[in-house]
Amino acid sequence: MFSTFDIKHPDYVALIEPDNAFWALVEKNSAINDKFVNAYKNKAEKFSDEMQKLRFGLALNAVYINPTSRCNLNCVYCYIPQEMRKHGDDMSRDALFEALEKLSGYFKQVMPENRLPQIIFHGAEPLLVKEVIFPAIEKFQDRFRFGVQTNGVLLDDEAIEFLTVNGVGIGLSLDAPIKQIADKTRKTWGGDSVFENTIKTIHKLKGYDGYNVITTVTKENMHCLCDMIDFFHELEIPAVMLNMVRCTLPGAREVKPDDYEVAQHFIKALDRTHELYKKTGRKIVVANFANILVSIMAPMARRLMCDISPCGGGRVFFALAPDGGMFPCSEFIGLPDFKGGNLFRDDINTVLQSESFKKVTDRKIEDIKPCDKCAIRHFCGAPCPAEAYEMNGGMNKIGAFCEFYEEQVRYAFRLIADNIVEDYLWSEWDKDTVTLFEASALNRL
């Protein structure tokens, strides 16, 4: 029933039921008793049901819209092909309005009335067409929650004013606390730095709750993740992501860090967030790690849908190209085989069931070796299908960072063992949850 998973903790080892993601940390000289096993068995079906719902029963609730294929930067690891970013198309204002009308009608059918679907303007660089997206945000703000992921170069005072007044989520990208390293991966087509510009923008956004910063972790910057955390904390950024570079396209693979080595740097950075919290009383949440922690404590409460299988691509969200092309995720926009249809011409449900989408939505961890035997398969999900397909040769191959996920999950369990989980999570992360199982409630074990 349970698989043993060594979490590298002095006192505890993890027992995990991989199929329903139930787990227990057991003192090394102890064993689970009948009372515990029976209590688990009473709830096992419920655990399985919720994993089934999470993995196969969710409805579409977000769309990532690329309003342009163009970008003013030429980052080495971008998942959009260079030619597309240089000479690609823009979506017109009328086309974007038409798209949002159609999506609004669709979401009314599939989402509960008390929840708003999310639209994230993504890229390429969406602010290259801010004259298209800002009117759309104004017109549709009662029907969607909006976000913008931007490199920040065009985020001038006027744009900041518009986005913050309208409560639009803003994601920025910064790869290092010093220019020399940041410039190795993120620069203009002419090779110019955008580092100073990004820092200025971060200062301007200070105090705005709805912004955050993504760092793409590569072999160029993995050595400075702790400095990055210091830097972000000093700038009072509430939440960051330290994302491993997605190795979908060859350019990204050139800067891929070593799997195990990057895990060690990542864990040191997490340690640093804790030191800073204890020292200052102010948290800095590494959201991609926090999501792993949440997926262990409360699988249904996860926010990010990359590290669960099937991933969220093509079922919880999809990506929309400027010409209306629909792809399971932004990561697939450069891969024509994954175009499932066109929003302006096709029925959304038909596209969600298309062969192109089903290649992604049918990708189950049970069909991937060695993940099918892995104890932590539902805390990892073998992301990402795009990189498995392009880098490792097929949808049923592992992703690029197997050891990183193992180390990350071990670390998460160690925090649970040491009872310091809350120090790494956003406040009220479990506000809407109920406790289904708690060993400490089973009287004396």
Partner 1 sequence: MKNQNQKQTQKPKIISIRKSCSADGTGLSHYILMDKKAKK
| Interacting positions 196-225 with partner 1 (CB under 8 A) | 207-212, 214
Distance between CA 69 and CA 376 in Å, rounded?
37
**Least distance in angstroms from the C-beta of 225 to partner 1:** 16
CA 93 to chain centre: 28
**Least distance in angstroms from the C-beta of 224 to partner 1:** 20
Distance between CA 309 and CA 379 in Å, rounded?
9
Q: Is 402 in the site for partner 1 (CB under 8 A)?
A: no
**Least distance in angstroms from the C-beta of 278 to partner 1:** 19
Q: Is 140 in the site for partner 1 (CB under 8 A)?
A: no
Binding mask 241-280 for partner 1 (x = CB under 8 A): x-x--x----------------------------------
For partner 1, the closer CB: 132 or 239:
239
For partner 1, the closer CB: 44 or 199:
44
- Part of the chain binding partner 1 (CB under 8 A), chosen from 181-189, 222-230, 359-367, 424-432: 424-432
Lookup: tokens for 156: 């001038």
H helices present in 28-156, as ranges? 34-56, 82-87, 93-110, 130-140
Residues 2-31 interacting with partner 1 (rule: CB under 8 A): 11-12, 22-27, 30
Residues 304-363 interacting with partner 1 (rule: CB under 8 A): 304-306, 308, 311-313, 316-317, 329-331
**Contact pick of 105, 135, 167, 336 for partner 1 (by CB under 8 A):** 167
The answer to whether the beta carbons of residues 312 and 361 sit under 8 Å apart is no
For partner 1, the closer CB: 81 or 169:
169
The answer to whether the beta carbons of residues 239 and 208 sit under 8 Å apart is no
> Any bridge partners for residue 22, and if so which?
17
Q: Is 236 in the site for partner 1 (CB under 8 A)?
A: no
Q: Is 71 in the site for partner 1 (CB under 8 A)?
A: no
Say if residue 162 is exposed, middle or buried (CB neighbours under 10 Å; 0-12, 13-18, 19+). Answer: middle
The answer to whether the beta carbons of residues 313 and 332 sit under 8 Å apart is yes
The answer to whether the beta carbons of residues 202 and 174 sit under 8 Å apart is yes
